[in-house]
Amino acid sequence: QDSDGLRLRLDRQLRPPPPRLERDAIRFLEADEIGGERDKTITATGNVSLRQRGASIRADRVDYNEVTDTAVAIGRVRLEREGDAVVGPKLMYHLGTDTGEMDAPLFEIPKKLDRRAAGRGSASRAMLEGEDISRLFDAEYTTCPVPRDDWFLRVHELEIDSKRNIGTAYNSTVYFLGVPILYSPWLSFPLDNARKSGFLAPIIGSSGQSGFELAMPYYWNIAENMDATITPKLFSKRGLQIGSEFRYLWPTFSGQLDAEFLPKDRITDSDRYFFGVRHVQSLPFNTTLAISAQRVSDDDYFRDLSTRIAATSQTNLPRDAILSYSDDIWALSARALAYQTLQDPLAPVVAPYKILPQLLASGLKQNFLGADWQFVGELSNFRHPELVNGQRFIAYPSVQVPFRRSYGYVTPKVGYHFTQYNVKENAGGVEEGTRGLPITSVDAGLFFDRPWEFRGERFQQTLEPRLYYLYVPYKDQSKLPNFTTAETDFNFGQMFYENRFIGGDRIGDANQITAAVTTRLVESGTGLERLRASLGQVYYFEPQRVTLEGPPRDEQRSDVIGVVSSQITPTITSDLVLQYSPSRSDAAKGALGVRYFPEPGRVLNAAYRYARNDIEQIDVSTQWPLWRGLTGVARVNWSIKDKKLLEGLVGFEYNADCWQLRAVAHRFITATQQVSTSFQIQLELTGLSRIGINPLETLRQNISGYRRSDEIAR
Amino acid sequence: CGFQLRGEERIGISRLHLSSVGASQVAVELRRSLATGSTQIVTDPAKAEASLRIITETRDKTIFTLTGAGRVYEYELRLTTSYQLTEPGKEEPLIAPSEIVVRRLITYSETAPLAKEAEEQLLFKDMYAESAGLILRRIAVVKRGL
């Protein structure tokens, strides 16, 4: 599953229905003293306990009238139904119908299932209705433990449905630290942790581009397999935006629809919108249809209206549909794809080609006549408003014969890559034609082991040398079109690829051998890998003449790549990648990352990244408990090369158990010479409002290893 | 220096039952990798010496490096696989549910997103194979008591 796939915020599992209670006639009465007339009234005094299945009454005195089946309990009365308890001086209760009345009750609703807090309160009067519904008048309700009343709901009428675990408040005011902060004529909240419709914690914020912001997300639990979040969001400088996210999940299809609409933006004087759809549909005969499309009203939409860098950093929004089929051997697909390219005004880019359509076929038959047979085929039609249009056909059959033993392997492979282009006559000098190239390679490796001891710990150390030889003859491809091709990143894995280009339009000429060695330290007994280090380099016997642009390259050796990832202690991990150019005696690329993660809620990440001419930056982020319930969060991503802050975040979360307060200030770059600065604050009253989307999403994306404060066990 | 060519059979299990919750590319790679060795994959868990289950397999893609213009320079691809190894009829698993995370970096190209998508697929294929290799090595160490 992709991370951007469908994921519901809360569980989507069906739970078994609560056991049905048979309140049959079996009743137990215990007391210090029981007296009265048989078949008429019974009077019990002193530590009275009257029980029937699912309900119990305790009191100092109970008068039970058998004719009316009514109990009147007096003095320290405690009624329990479905685990909920009501305490008061006097209770009238009809046992047969499970109804009754109590004056000046105190009530408590215990933690149910995985609910995060127990609820409690008081009222002037309680009506106990059948079906485990209690109706409380002039009540106060909170999830704070006694004696704290950090927040409470003052409500004219509160309905507690103990069976469906829903609380409904009519005419209620929320008080926070003694101050009324919200009035609502109707408010519904879950008594357990189930998905229930209701308002999520509101978010108050401000940003430089849009002024003051207020979002009031409403979560609508439409059905077990469908939900929606509707978010009205007010921007003081722009106007009111309505956003909605609708998700659905069926056995054969699932998807999500997103829409945002801001009519008549007062700054730009235009309607602004975003629309996104994702849909995956299983069809008969192992076929699947996947649709993904996004559209925004203008290039600046995300930069102006989003506080998420994942949105603002996007350049190409796809409109993509793929119909695919697969079985044990074949994978076939038909695809149409176009993009909306969002331009940075100061750094415009050439928009990519559309594919209308692309047909792909790939097949792999293993262990057939002692070999693995592979075929890749493609037929595509490329369209572009400014560049040359055309079609491309690719067929690439290949066969490899793997020889594997416990101590190593040798895999020779041969294939023939054939491509044909059709393009119209054009001024750009792009020609149609065919290209056929044999591709030959041999991959070989050995495995060595030895036991190794370090500071009393026993390890198994491996040594894995690997050689990869690749031969592809040269063919001039400079006049052929380039529809979709780029150079692959040069990294440890790429040294074993048969083409240094990806996308099909260029086949790199090669007469080269890659030499690499990997060593691992594996903990004895558990098999856990504690350290892995690899080193590799490519040796070129001939110059590399095929390029996307620029002259041929005639280095005899590639840069050296070293990769080390380790788990130094159970709480410290580190990753190092270094690409070193021996000819220039300097580093072409490098990254060092260290993470210290002693326990959930306590994490420190630090990284340094370098790429010659492009990147030099440090990135430090942390979530760290400061004092009692107070946790600090911070991130700095600083570009040393540009001498500016790429992304910075500082904030805190305060968890007082029955409420949480989050405040986050966030600043990041959205385009050349453009930054977004925002401030967000969110108050969550446990058990009343539910967890919202922002700023938690911002925190999750900024701080790797971040945990929500209430997820941390204390 | 004490290194010796790996001599023994690879994971020390002659009959393995392999299952996954939902479709799993790591399971496909495991099958592919075991196909050439001495371990036989059986369909009936009762007839197996041990049972390997892929519990979850999640792909993630997050922004790793930004350029000075606020564009994506690099993404981090992450494959998280959790698995467990049990023996039929035994309560205590040989390997309790464990997680392996494999990461790769990939630069982004605004002009050739489709090429980068294809490269991403190549990297994920690598990562599936690497995850399968890590699982098999762990089984070998645990099973053979190295």
pLDDT computed for residue A13 by the predictor: 36
Q: At residue A608, does pLDDT exceed 90?
A: yes
How far, CA to CA in Å, does A205 sit from each of A232, A235, A663, B78?
14, 9, 9, 32
Q: At residue A11, does pLDDT exceed 70?
A: no
Which of A164-173, A469-478, A688-697, B55-64 is the least confident region?
A688-697
Is A13 near chain B, with CB under 8 Å?
no
Q: At residue A123, does pLDDT exceed 80?
A: yes
Secondary structure letter of residue A17 according to DSSP: P
- Within 8 A of A404 by CB-CB distance, chain B residues are 36-37
Q: What three-state secondary structure class fits A9? A: coil
Q: What confidence category does residue A6 fall into, taking pLDDT thresholds of 50, 70 and 90?
A: very low
Q: What confidence category does residue A15 fall into, taking pLDDT thresholds of 50, 70 and 90?
A: very low
Q: What is the pLDDT of residues A266-320, one digit of tens each?
A: 898 999 999 999 999 999 988 999 999 999 999 989 888 887 777 888 889 999 9
- Please judge whether B118 and A503 are an interchain contact, meaning their C-beta atoms are less than 8 angstroms apart: yes
Contact B83, B53 (CB under 8 A): yes
Cβ burial A269-278 (10 Å sphere, 16+ → b, else e): eeebbbebbb
| Residue carrying the six token digits 């590799």 | A536
Contact A705, A622 (CB under 8 A): no
pLDDT computed for residue B87 by the predictor: 87
Output the six-digit token pair for A449.
């082991």
Q: Dihedral of the CA atoms A170, A176, A181, A185 (nearest 10)?
A: 0
Question: Considering chain A, what percentage of its residues have pLDDT values greater than 90?
Answer: 40
Residues 64-103 of B with CB under 8 A from A: 65-73, 95, 103
A85 vs A361, higher pLDDT:
A361
Q: What confidence category does residue B8 fall into, taking pLDDT thresholds of 50, 70 and 90?
A: low
pLDDT computed for residue A693 by the predictor: 54
- Please judge whether A449 and B70 are an interchain contact, meaning their C-beta atoms are less than 8 angstroms apart: no
Q: At residue A525, does pLDDT exceed 90?
A: no
pLDDT computed for residue A117 by the predictor: 67
Question: Considering chain B, what percentage of its residues have pLDDT values greater than 90?
Answer: 33
Q: At residue A190, does pLDDT exceed 80?
A: no
**Beta strand extents in A541-629 (DSSP E only):** 560-569, 572-581, 586-599, 602-611, 615-627
| Angle, vertex CA A324, rays to CA A319 and CA A329, nearest 5 | 145
Q: What confidence category does residue A5 fall into, taking pLDDT thresholds of 50, 70 and 90?
A: very low
Q: What confidence category does residue A12 fall into, taking pLDDT thresholds of 50, 70 and 90?
A: very low
What gap in Å lies between CA A12 and CA A4, rounded to an integer?
Answer: 18
A115 vs A147, higher pLDDT:
A147
Residues 554-583 of A with CB under 8 A from B: 575, 577
How many cross-chain Cβ pairs, A to B, lie less than 8 Å apart?
183
Q: What is the pLDDT of residues A416-440, one digit of tens each?
A: 999 999 998 887 788 888 999 999 9
pLDDT computed for residue A411 by the predictor: 94
- Please judge whether B110 and A503 are an interchain contact, meaning their C-beta atoms are less than 8 angstroms apart: no
pLDDT computed for residue A3 by the predictor: 36
State the average pLDDT over residues A557-579: 92
On the question of a cis peptide bond just before residue A695, with omega within 30 degrees of 0, the verdict is: yes
pLDDT computed for residue A23 by the predictor: 47
Is A617 near chain B, with CB under 8 Å?
yes
What gap in Å lies between CA A450 and CA A519, rounded to an integer?
Answer: 11
Q: At residue A18, does pLDDT exceed 80?
A: no
Contact A123, A105 (CB under 8 A): yes
B15 vs A416, higher pLDDT:
A416
Residue among A304, A343, A449 with most chain B CBs within 10 A, to mutate: A449
Q: What is the pLDDT of residues B62-115, one digit of tens each?
A: 888 888 888 888 999 999 999 999 988 888 888 889 889 898 999 998 888 999
B73: enclosing H helix or E strand: strand B72-86
Arithmetic mean of pLDDT over chain B: 87
Is B29 near chain A, with CB under 8 Å?
no
Q: What confidence category does residue A65 fall into, taking pLDDT thresholds of 50, 70 and 90?
A: confident
Arithmetic mean of pLDDT over chain A: 86
How large is the ipTM? 0.90
| Residue carrying the six token digits 């210090």 | A32
Which of A199-213, A370-384, A544-558, A581-595 is the least confident region?
A199-213
pLDDT computed for residue A8 by the predictor: 37
- Please judge whether B137 and A529 are an interchain contact, meaning their C-beta atoms are less than 8 angstroms apart: yes
Q: What confidence category does residue A67 fall into, taking pLDDT thresholds of 50, 70 and 90?
A: confident
- Within 8 A of A670 by CB-CB distance, chain B residues are 70
Q: What is the pLDDT of residues A431-478, one digit of tens each?
A: 888 999 999 999 999 999 898 888 888 888 999 999 999 999 999 998
- Most trustworthy range by pLDDT among A111-120, A143-152, A324-333, B11-20: A324-333
Q: At residue A17, does pLDDT exceed 50?
A: no
Shortest distance between the Cα of B71 and any Cα of chain A, in A, equals 5
Query: Which chain A residue's Cα is nearest to B9?
Result: A406
What gap in Å lies between CA A592 and CA A589, rounded to an integer?
Answer: 11
pLDDT computed for residue A564 by the predictor: 96
Q: What is the pLDDT of residues A358-396, one digit of tens each?
A: 999 999 998 888 899 999 999 999 999 888 899 999 999
Contact A508, A472 (CB under 8 A): yes
Shortest distance between the Cα of A186 and any Cα of chain B, in A, equals 40
- Within 8 A of A641 by CB-CB distance, chain B residues are 68
What is the 3-class SS of A523-558, one letter each residue? ECCCCCEEEEEEEEEEEECCCECCCCCCCCECCCEC
What gap in Å lies between CA A578 and CA A560, rounded to an integer?
Answer: 8
Q: What is the pLDDT of residues A210-254, one digit of tens each?
A: 888 888 888 888 888 898 989 999 999 999 999 999 999 988 999
What gap in Å lies between CA A196 and CA A691, rounded to an integer?
Answer: 12
Q: At residue B35, does pLDDT exceed 60?
A: yes
- Please judge whether B68 and A449 are an interchain contact, meaning their C-beta atoms are less than 8 angstroms apart: no
Strand order in the sheet with B15-20: B40-42, B15-20, B50-66, B72-86, B95-107
How far, CA to CA in Å, does A589 sit from each of A401, A486, A494, A607?
36, 19, 15, 14
- Within 8 A of A488 by CB-CB distance, chain B residues are 119, 122
State the average pLDDT over residues A173-200: 80
pLDDT computed for residue B58 by the predictor: 92
CB atoms within 10 A of CB A490: 16
Residues 36-65 of B with CB under 8 A from A: 36-37, 57-63, 65
